[in-house]
Amino acid sequence: MFDNLSTKLDKAFKTLKGQGSITEINVAATIKEIRRALVDADVNYKVAKEVTDKIKDEAMGRDVLTTVSPGQLMTKIVYDELTQLMGGTKEDVVLKGDPAVILLSGLQGSGKTTFAGKLATFIKKQNRTVLLVACDIYRPAAIDQLKVLGEQVGVEVYSEPDNKNPVEISQNAIAYAKKNNKKVVIIDTAGRLAVDEQMMREIEAVKRAINPSETLFVVDSMTGQDAVNTAKTFNDRLNFDGVVLTKLDGDSRGGAALSIRAVVEKPIKFISTGEKMEALDMFYPERMAQRILGMGDVISLVERAQQQFDEDEAKRINQKIRKNQFNFDDFLSQLEQIKKMGNLKDLVGMIPGMSKAIKDVDIDDDAFKPIESIIKSMTPQERATPEVLNGSRRRRLAKGSGTDIQQVNNLMKQFEDMRKVMRTMNKMSSTKGGMQQMA
């Protein structure tokens, strides 16, 4: 789903090179690329412009946390804005009345009848009795199609093949439901290949007559901008309550999912992702935004860093690295911070591409324990100036920490290697103007 859009957005984030904060100059190209990616994905131009303007406002002047790269921070900002664009939070169908009536509208071929079957299955699972109503008076085949689906999912289908009045059929169906103790009635109406006046008048009349607790508009997400335009036409006439996006399993570019809410100001309530009766999901804006960005893990990582990481401490350590003064006290403090962020395997798994790689690797949450014990056995002087740690001191540390000399030597070696890398980075960055350049 949305592979193309995800790839393009990812590329846009990578062009953002970090200084200490995001500024007008370093963000401009990225914003432009994000806008282009959205428009290419068939997002309405006005919507794409509005959302990227908001993203820019949000990003400007943000201090880039030491723990995340500017690109990662941008991913999170875009994620928040896309989530808002799609409505922010999940909205449920409203089932009110006895029976509760749900009216389905949409063009022919949108997946309306298939959705009727899926919704019936979904509601039946909540232990409510359902009646499906075939209200397409033009295509006898549509009635048969619903009957087949009804049989497949074990839900009764009401139809009056000889009646050409959809208002009457719906009213009769509701009366039938009352008599037969059906708690939810789903009415599948006639659809045309394109919006036409007669169809609109007909469904308006049905809506007026039966006053459904929920009117849903079903639309094929693969039709992109057309989907948004059709939604607008239907909403102007029907004032529907929610949208069902179908065929999201196909190579839909994402435009409809992203623009519909902003254009018609109605929530998407369901998404349909296949022809099977189970292929129905409630619509969660935040999950959809994660799928579009294809980087749910980065978002959680930034969120946790924002919540947990002590930014002043990170800056202090950065200063020390710059002055080649990084010592064992700083090392210990870093370990504490990492541990605060949560389970080690979870954390490593959040690094893009890592979750698959470490699937079968056993990362022990106590992996830091021996290191911590060794450092804690050092005197303040040893921690501050590790150079004094000679053979006899190391033996003492091994004994004091319950480890062995090998482990102590390994830690010393790792620490020295780390400091070497830091020194090299310092040399490089002093010619480029700052550590952040390395990100």
Q: Is 139 annotated as a binding residue?
A: no
Q: Is 109 in the site for ligand GDP (CB under 6 A)?
A: yes
Q: Is 275 in the site for ligand GDP (CB under 6 A)?
A: yes
Q: Is 400 annotated as a binding residue?
A: no
Q: Is 121 in the site for ligand GDP (CB under 6 A)?
A: no
Q: Is 10 annotated as a binding residue?
A: no
Q: Is 107 annotated as a binding residue?
A: yes
Least gap, CB of 107 to ligand GDP (angstroms): 7
Q: Is 113 in the site for ligand GDP (CB under 6 A)?
A: yes
Q: Is 114 in the site for ligand GDP (CB under 6 A)?
A: yes
Measured over the CA atoms of residue 190, residue 195, residue 201 and residue 205, the dihedral's sign is positive
Least gap, CB of 137 to ligand GDP (angstroms): 14
Q: Is 15 annotated as a binding residue?
A: no
* Nearer CB in complex with ligand GDP: 272/327: 272
| Contact residue for ligand GDP among 44, 52, 215, 246 (CB under 6 A) | 246
Q: Is 111 in the site for ligand GDP (CB under 6 A)?
A: yes
Q: Is 267 in the site for ligand GDP (CB under 6 A)?
A: no
* Nearer CB in complex with ligand GDP: 71/117: 117
Angle at 429 between CA 425 and CA 430, to 5 degrees: 115
- For ligand GDP, how many residues bind (rule: CB under 6 A)? 18
* Nearer CB in complex with ligand GDP: 275/404: 275
Least gap, CB of 203 to ligand GDP (angstroms): 13
Q: Which of 236, 255, 233, 234 is nearest to 245 (CA)?
A: 255
* Nearer CB in complex with ligand GDP: 39/279: 279
Among the listed ranges 160-168, 171-179, 274-282, 419-427, the one in contact with ligand GDP (CB under 6 A) is 274-282
Q: Is 138 in the site for ligand GDP (CB under 6 A)?
A: no
Q: Is 272 in the site for ligand GDP (CB under 6 A)?
A: yes
What is the C-alpha to C-alpha distance for residues 327 and 320, in angstroms, rounded to an integer? 9
Q: Is 247 annotated as a binding residue?
A: yes
> What residue type is assigned to position 255 of the chain?
G
Q: Is 274 in the site for ligand GDP (CB under 6 A)?
A: yes
In DSSP terms, 248 is beta-bridged to none
Least gap, CB of 65 to ligand GDP (angstroms): 40
* Nearer CB in complex with ligand GDP: 134/411: 134
Q: Is 247 in the site for ligand GDP (CB under 6 A)?
A: yes
Q: Is 191 in the site for ligand GDP (CB under 6 A)?
A: yes
| Contact residue for ligand GDP among 35, 56, 76, 112 (CB under 6 A) | 112
Q: Is 113 annotated as a binding residue?
A: yes
Binding site for ligand GDP (CB under 6 A): 106, 108-114, 191, 246-247, 249-250, 272-275, 279
The annotated binding site for GTP is made up of: 106-113, 188-192, 246-249
The annotated binding site is made up of: 106-113, 188-192, 246-249
